[in-house]
A and B are shown apart, each in its own frame.
Chain A
Amino acid sequence: MNIDIRKYYYGDIPEDKGAGGNGNNSSSKEYWPLWEVFIRSKQGIDHKHVGSLHAADAQMAIENARDVYTRRMEGVSIWVVESKYIHASNPDDAAAFYEPANDKVYRHPTFYDLPDELTHM
């Protein structure tokens, strides 16, 4: 069985490459889109990005994520989102975006004593 996989990365995913399943393209040359996977490791903790995978639609993406990313009891909940819906900042903007924060140490909450019971800060 030949399935063509072409990897798309952020920023170069064409608009017409929607998720499978809702498209009208039944050609076997249709590519499986890329999905980003977020796993919640236990109740009460936020979903963390763990990686990406290819799948024809959301249902398959969740099942693939279950098989690829939760084999060793890593999770209790899975989110998937098609990679093309992720909008990323431009690396060229790095200087303007991030460097101004360099010398503003007072923005860190380091002047407080945190109670020991407080985790996940």
Chain B
Amino acid sequence: MNTDYIVHLADNALILGQRNSEWCGHGPVLEQDIAITNISLDLVGQARSFYQYAAERLGSTEDKLAYLRDALDFKNCLLCELPNGDWAQTILRQFFFSSYQYILYQQLQQSPDERLAAIAEKSLKEVTYHVRWSSEWVIRLGDGTEESHGRMLKAIEYLWPFTGELFIPAFYEQTPLNKEPWQQRVEEIFTEATLPIPGQVWMQSGGKEGRHTEHLGYILAEMQYMQRAYPDCEW
């Protein structure tokens, strides 16, 4: 298994986890504040498992991989680094990504690399809940009020062009992921949510190979500040 691929899996989880954590203390209601930050912690936990594995192979440490690499070295999908926007945008990003992770981890469970298979198996239980939670919310907002429906439409317009990249394999991805089950899931939930299924549009890509949006730099600045200002500081 290519180490770049393991780092890519870790970066996805870390960056989306960091994004979701921005909701901490700002959730629309207390219960959902806890729900989204729980998801954050699940993702950061997954990132740690992948970083630890990658670090062993690279002779590095998980902290160095997370805190001392620059934007060009990060291999996360663009979708993960996009701003939270409103609750609709955060929910939809989570739904798109968790549905993708669900398929990805299912496939990874069968990997001949036992370590990756084990991480995937453990993480799949978490992701199963993330898919359920975010699907519920997509339906709730899509099939809710005029206001919530409108916000979902805006979120779809913004996020959809970033979903193509999930299924375009980077050079370090050995087995391409079948998009069909993901597309089916999205269509099923969107139909229930009375939301239109977007047609063919031009898709953004590049994140997996280090070409990021301007947003990633700001995330790293905040996330890496402590380690960079006080090298090797510990809790």
Contacts and interface: CB of A to CB of B under 8 A. Distances in A.
B34 interface: yes
Given A1-B87, A3-B29, A5-B29, A63 B35 contact: yes
Nearest to A61: B31
B29 A59 contact: no
A28 B145 contact: yes
Contacts of B140: 56, 60
Contacts of B145: 26-28
A67 B38 contact: yes
Which interface residue of A56, A67, A68 has the most chain B CB atoms within 10 A? A67
Interface in B125-168: 129, 132-133, 136, 140, 144-145, 147-148, 151
A67 B136 contact: no
Interface in A66-81: 66-68, 71
For the side of the interface on B, what is the size category? 20 to 34
B70 interface: no
Nearest to B27: A1
Q: Which of B31, B87, B129 has the most CB of A within 10 A?
A: B31
A55 B86 contact: no
Among A53, A60, A66, A71, the most chain B Cβ lie within 10 Å of the Cβ of A60
A3 B129 CA distance: 24
Contact of A28 (B32, B132, B147): B147
A60 B129 CA distance: 13
B31 A53 contact: yes
A1 B31 contact: no
B28 interface: yes
Interface in A29-79: 32, 53-56, 59-60, 63-64, 66-68, 71
Contacts of A26: 144-145
Contacts of B34: 64, 67-68, 71
A54 B30 CA distance: 9
Contacts of B30: 53-54, 68
Contacts of B144: 26
A54 B38 contact: no
A28 B150 CA distance: 13
Contact of A59 (B28, B136, B151): B136
B28 A67 contact: no
B200 to A, nearest CB: 31
> Which 6 residue pairs across A and B have the least CB separation, nearest first?
A64-B31, A67-B35, A1-B87, A1-B28, A67-B34, A28-B145
Given A5-B29, A27-B145, A68-B30, 8 more contacts: A1-B86, A26-B145, A54-B29, A54-B30, A63-B133, A67-B31, A67-B38, A71-B34
6 contacts: A3-B28, A26-B144, A28-B148, A53-B31, A63-B35, A71-B38
